[in-house]
Structure 1
Amino acid sequence: MKRAWRQTIRLGELSKGPVKLRLEPDAETRALIAREVGLESLPALTADITVHPWLDGAEILGQFDAVVEQICGVSLEPFEQALSADIEFRVVPAGSPNAPAESEAATVELEFDPDEPDPPDVLADEEIDLSAYLIEQLALEMDPFPRKPGATFDYVPDTTDLSPFAALKKLKGEGE
């Protein structure tokens, strides 16, 4: 899949220590990202990320702030909402001894502990696409059922008798 925006760093750049970056796409790029993740618009998106050497790969840590425009699931009106979240990913190069074994996951039942960190992602090459991790975290933080503040669902059920016998009662007449 072709990404709307790419901001990359190579693993070799971490040999001198952590690298700090500020990611801030322009308006045109934010419009492409909004379309990619299913938003009406993305008025603001910034992230401060630090990439640290980790084992034979890298650890990506940081935080993002965004303003997203979504459609309310109740009123169908667009509304803006501020989002902020931490970013934490680990990556290792292909062939790394620290990479999760694919064959092990297919044959052995794994236990899931939500408090444990996720296993590291395996890179296709020496390049880490930081923008992809930012967009992934943004998509995870978005409300899949957005509701505009103050929007209420006012459903009043029909109080008439809807049973099939009610229709027969009408045909027979009320007095019989």
Structure 2
Amino acid sequence: MTGDRTVHPLSRSIRVDRMARAQGDFTVTATAEECAALAADFGIPAIRDLVGRFQVAGSLENLKVTGTVEALVTQVCIVSLDPFEAPVSEPVEVLYTDGEIPTGHDAEDVEVPDPIVNGRIDFGILTAEFLAMGLDPYPRKPGVTFEGAEADPDDAPFAGLRVLQGDKD
């Protein structure tokens, strides 16, 4: 299929030549619809107030993007299974290049920059990626602790063997 593209729920693609001239700040503020689509993609109940704030420095061929991604997310507690809200704040530092990207053993020795694709960087995708990295993979509602069940010696994995051994005595 020609022309088939994956559409990302949050996209803010900006031309690098405009960024390099501006050498400024870029802000991505997700709409309620974009937050709902990202929450569905991430498998969490909700995301709101998602904002990525970025500063750009460098040349047309090599850009450094720094900043933060912040949001309020609703996740499900792994202990109580209750939904709860938690803030996410993830620092961003990414290098982009229009030049050759090292591969093989060279890539292991250096920080590999992300490619500039078709002369553009998508700050929406960058925002979503860093939000995903900031999510707690094992969310626990504040104040909730896990208390394991007390082991009953009669229910132990080898309790049946003890019964058999008792018959032989």
- Per the normalisation by structure 2, the TM-score is 0.83
- Per the alignment, residue 137 of structure 1 pairs with 130
- Per the alignment, residue 53 of structure 2 pairs with 48
What is the correspondence of 1:1-176 to structure 2 with a 5 Å cutoff?
1-54=6-59, 56-93=61-98, 96=99, 99-102=100-103, 105=104, 107=105, 110-111=108-109, 118-161=111-154, 162=156, 163=158, 164-168=160-164, 172=167
Q: Kindly, what percent of the aligned residue pairs are identical?
A: 25
Q: Distance in 2 between matches of 1:49 and 1:100?
A: 23
Q: Distance in 1 between matches of 2:106 and 2:62?
A: 25
Structure 1 unaligned runs (5+)? 113-117
Q: Shift of the alpha carbon at 1:169?
A: 5.6
The structure-2 alpha-carbon separation of the partners of 1:110 and 1:64, relative to structure 1 and needing over 3 Å to count, comes to closer
Whether the 8 Å CA contact 2:51–2:127 is kept in 1: the answer is no
RMSD: 2.3
1:148-173 superposed Cα distances (whole Å, 9 cap, x missing partner): 11111121233223323333267x49
SS in 1 for 2:17: helix
1:89-147 superposed Cα distances (whole Å, 9 cap, x missing partner): 11112xx1xx3322xx1x568347xxxxx321112310110111111111111110111
Whether the 8 Å CA contact 2:67–2:91 is kept in 1: the answer is yes
- Per the normalisation by structure 1, the TM-score is 0.80
Whether the 8 Å CA contact 2:20–2:56 is kept in 1: the answer is no
> What count of residue pairs does the alignment treat as equivalent?
161
